[in-house]
Structure 1
Amino acid sequence: MFPYKSSILLNRKAHRNLYLQLCDQIIKHIKSGKLPPATRLPGTRTLANDLQIHRKTVIAAYDELIAQGWIETLPSRGTYVNRMLPIVNPADFDHENSKQKTTTISSFSFSKRPNLMYSSVSFDDSPKIQIDDGSPDHRLAPIEELSKTYRNIAKKSYHQNLFAYGSTYGNLDLRKKLVKYLNQTRGLNISLDNILITRGSQMGIYLASQLLFNKRDTVVVGNTNYLTANYTFEEAGATIAHIPVDDQGIDTNAMEALCKKTKAKAIYVTSHHHHPTTVTLSAERRMHLLQLAKQYGFAIIEDDYDYDFHYSNAPILPLASNDNYGNVIYIGGFTKIIAPAMRIGYLIAPKDFIDEASNMRRIIDRQGDMVLEKTMAQLIKAGDIQRHTSKVLKIYKSRRDLFCSLLKERLSNYFEFEVPKGGLAVWVTLNNKYNWDDVVAKAGSLKLELNPEWRRYDPNNLKHNSIRMGFASLNEEEIYKTIIILEKVCAQL
């Protein structure tokens, strides 16, 4: 006889109704094989008495189980577990097996990609300072303007269509505002036909790579590069070719030499502030690269991830602003301007490419958050995004100056760097006498978290002994604490 009294535990304080709790537990025991098909269930009065609940609760539970097909009532005979259910080997009635277990190992095969593993995210809640590789300070996000605008849009009856399916190209109002905004701020010459809204710039990189590359097509990147882009290209089947990067950016002469030997399908550049070294692609090389793209017919994937943050002078216009032949795929977004959670980006390209990217986007994510996209359009129209950008530009410049001055003043025997002209991070080289593993470990013990996977900055084994240190997400107090901890770490090396 099944021990209903001890095997079914109901919680009167739970938000779920008692009859549904009873359903859940009977179903669980049927699934486990403890109540096999054709097992007779106790009468409603008997079970109600055993569980100390009202009989109507048991009746409601039985009715629900009958409706779902788990049990059946046979006239003049009673209530039984449905005889048509498959037989399951019964589990042991011990205390351990009676608990719900979390499955950790799949019983089916699937492809694993060890190269995509990234373990630098910490889930430790203890207070510490994190040095990222160049993220904005989410604490500076214009929360009041965002929430007020989002709320006003969401509650207007004439905006209810935003909660339905929308265009895979993105919210029309945002696309219109972005066309005007990008033409004014980036010197572009685009129309609605040239823009697709994405969930951040990474989706743009993914869509572009899926459309561009077939098996073993060649994509060219710098010998130091944004590794997530590399992984994205490899996932699309592309073969990666590396060319040098120096203080003028990616070496276009090396690109020309490569094009003479092999067919390049595309080149990936972070022209404004090369990732990870932060250098800006020179004007001469910009013009040379555009000429090469026209001559050899390859695409330029221009990832302009932090265009707005240039401190020495006005931002340098992107390659896309001088693209007269349709060679440039321009990618950007609002993640660096506002906060990482603001997953709105854009893909700019010739119309035929945008149309195809829209088709592919349909099977990946269908569409973005239409209310959020409408909110962004309103913030651009009201000038809130422009004002916020001007505000944080001053803050980040101040933080860059403080971080670099302290690093130079107190730790120049250990670290070398060039003050970046823009961006949100510094490319820092550790004295070759020392090892980043030691720095990372000792810093961690003092509640300063550096990137434990620092070798990812040198996949080609150039032995540059450098990493990116983000300063933008640290306020003044945190910068001082960071330098103090680094001084302690270096004293122990």
Structure 2
Amino acid sequence: MQAVFLTISISKNSLQPVYLQLAEIITSLIKNGNLRAGDRLPSTRQLAQFLEVHRKTVVRAYDDLLAQGWLESETGNGTFVARNLPQAKPKQLITGNQVIPDPVKVAGFVFEQPEHLNRHLNISTSTYHLDDGFPDTRLAPLHDLSRAYRTQLLTGNPYKKMGYADTQGSLALREQLSTHLNITRALNITADNILITRGSVMGLYLACTSLLKRGDRVVAGSPGWLGADTNFAQAGADLIKIPVDEFGIRVAELEQICSKKTVRLVYVTSHHHYPTTVSLRADRRIQLLRLSEKYGFIIFEDDYDYDFHYLNKPLLPLASADQQGTVLYCGSFTKTISPAFRVGYLVGPVNVIQHLAKLRRIVDRQGDEMLENAIAELLQDGIIQRHLRKSLRIYRQRRDMLCDLLRTELNDYLQFEVPDGGMSVWTCFDQKINLEKLALEAKKKDLYFSDGRIHHTPLNQQNATRLGFASSSIIELEQSTNILAGLLKK
């Protein structure tokens, strides 16, 4: 037996079958140059005795490697490493003082790693949370969704339902959604105007990738959403930031920019601006649409939580007044049901939607047809609409409770305006308070909230963050505020 085989070991307690372990070991020996082309392997009986395994196990490993071309067999002469394999030098784990990287962890080729992709992924496991503004998944109509999903799985023609579908998204959902958006947002669209996506961020990515060229100018508000900024950077766009005040993005400053430079796209959250929650005032909406008509730029309207407005009927989106076909309107069911269900939508002129669907096809052939059809059923039956009405009442109570608690317990440490809608309160802390340190101390007390650094830009240095209320019960909001008060007052 070759000496190299005396060094190998097999784990009989591994979940991986023994024959596969042996096959992988022999393959590695060949790749590393420890076994060379034409080398004879031990007989199956000899190797089985040494490894203390059944001979059939070794036979199966050899057969697999013969089929893959690593080995070749000569009747009556034995089994050999395939002679047509290129010679490999034995791999040295250490060259001088340099340790060769593990190829499983470090690639053997160079690739660019743009800084804008280095975003921290935060997954909170704390019991209490004043988060970025997430829905309470305990309120979601999960039983109804489960029933509708089961119906989609078990009824109808399985070949049609479970095969490849329209890249533009489930026709049933697009039809129900067009009706819903026409009623609630005064749009005038059909199913052909809708592209179903896996959330708002996918809609924005498709628009940026397809409609922006490197060097195109994009204008967005500051503070704003880092996810949008990252998409603009990925597309190679030149991002210009303009301030957001209590009435939304300053459209007059946009006009000054447009008079001097060509702008390709303006990104706006006209309803409950992220992160400040302010709504774009009516006169600025009119002015923004007029500027789009005059200068020909695209308006990307991200309407991520339109349904949650507490004082009166929410302002209609810009898309409802678009007479020139310059607005792309984006939304999702993330805030309606749960972030786990990745179903969103992009609304626009038919030719643009068809174009974006072609791009979507090469990155994601289609969405989750079963889930999309199930949500269509919930829309058709009015379940989502009833859920929205119920959630609106509950979230309003929670907003009022959090604002009362902040005012009575923490008034000396922060300032805020009661938001007209949305799921969080934009809260400005005293400049003497180290928000990063406070967030770390709160986490030790089992409370999560953002330290606000994600919202910092050259135009925005406020010591502020979003305190979400929708995902917490009244009792949880009280406990969260008590934790904050205890840390600030100590």
Q: TM-score, with normalisation over the residues of structure 2?
A: 0.92
Asked if the contact 2:293/2:326 (under 8 Å) is kept, the reply is yes
* Aligned residue number for residue 469 of structure 1: 467
Quickly say closer, same or farther: Cα 1:105–1:63, change in 2 above 3 A: closer
Give the distance between the partners of 2:83 and 2:375, measured in 1 at CA: 57
* Aligned residue number for residue 61 of structure 2: 61
CA drift at 1:318: 0.7
Give the distance between the partners of 1:163 and 1:108, measured in 2 at CA: 39
Deviations 1:175-214 (A, max 9, x none): 1111111111111000122111111111111122223322
Give the distance between the partners of 2:227 and 2:412, measured in 1 at CA: 32
Deviations 1:429-460 (A, max 9, x none): 011222222322322332323324x2221212
Of 201-210 and 31-40, the range deviating more from structure 2: 31-40
Deviations 1:264-321 (A, max 9, x none): 2221110110111000111222222222222222221110000111111122211111
Give the distance between the partners of 2:464 and 2:318, measured in 1 at CA: 28
* Aligned residue number for residue 270 of structure 1: 269
CA drift at 1:16: 4.3
Q: Secondary structure in 2 aligned to 1:60?
A: helix
Q: Secondary structure in 1 aligned to 2:404?
A: helix
Deviations 1:347-379 (A, max 9, x none): 111112112111111222121111111111111
* Aligned residue number for residue 261 of structure 1: 260
What amino acid sits opposite 1:28 in the alignment? S
Q: TM-score, with normalisation over the residues of structure 1?
A: 0.92
Give the distance between the partners of 2:93 and 2:205, measured in 1 at CA: 50
Give the distance between the partners of 1:384 and 1:267, measured in 2 at CA: 35
* Aligned residue number for residue 375 of structure 1: 374
Give the distance between the partners of 1:179 and 1:292, measured in 2 at CA: 27
Asked if the contact 1:277/1:427 (under 8 Å) is kept, the reply is yes
Give the distance between the partners of 2:31 and 2:123, measured in 1 at CA: 37
Asked if the contact 2:302/2:331 (under 8 Å) is kept, the reply is yes
Asked if the contact 1:214/1:236 (under 8 Å) is kept, the reply is yes
Asked if the contact 2:196/2:346 (under 8 Å) is kept, the reply is yes
* Structure 2 unpaired stretches of 5+: 95-100
Quickly say closer, same or farther: Cα 1:87–1:480, change in 2 above 3 A: farther
What does 1:381-392 align with in structure 2 at a 5 Å threshold? 381-392=380-391
Give the distance between the partners of 1:108 and 1:488, measured in 2 at CA: 52
Give the distance between the partners of 2:4 and 2:327, measured in 1 at CA: 71
Q: Secondary structure in 2 aligned to 1:268?
A: strand
CA drift at 1:260: 2.1
Deviations 1:44-70 (A, max 9, x none): 222222222222222222222211111
* Aligned residue number for residue 484 of structure 1: 482
CA drift at 1:6: 5.4
Asked if the contact 2:10/2:18 (under 8 Å) is kept, the reply is no
Of 85-94 and 55-64, the range deviating more from structure 2: 85-94
What does 1:25-174 align with in structure 2 at a 5 Å threshold? 25-91=25-91, 103-119=104-120, 121-122=122-123, 127-174=126-173
Give the distance between the partners of 1:268 and 1:128, measured in 2 at CA: 35
Give the distance between the partners of 2:171 and 2:86, measured in 1 at CA: 52
* Structure 1 unpaired stretches of 5+: 95-99
Give the distance between the partners of 1:93 and 1:223, measured in 2 at CA: 51
CA drift at 1:472: 1.4
Asked if the contact 1:120/1:451 (under 8 Å) is kept, the reply is no
State the identity as a percent.
43
Asked if the contact 2:173/2:376 (under 8 Å) is kept, the reply is yes
Of 337-346 and 294-303, the range deviating more from structure 2: 294-303
CA drift at 1:402: 1.3
Give the distance between the partners of 2:23 and 2:312, measured in 1 at CA: 68
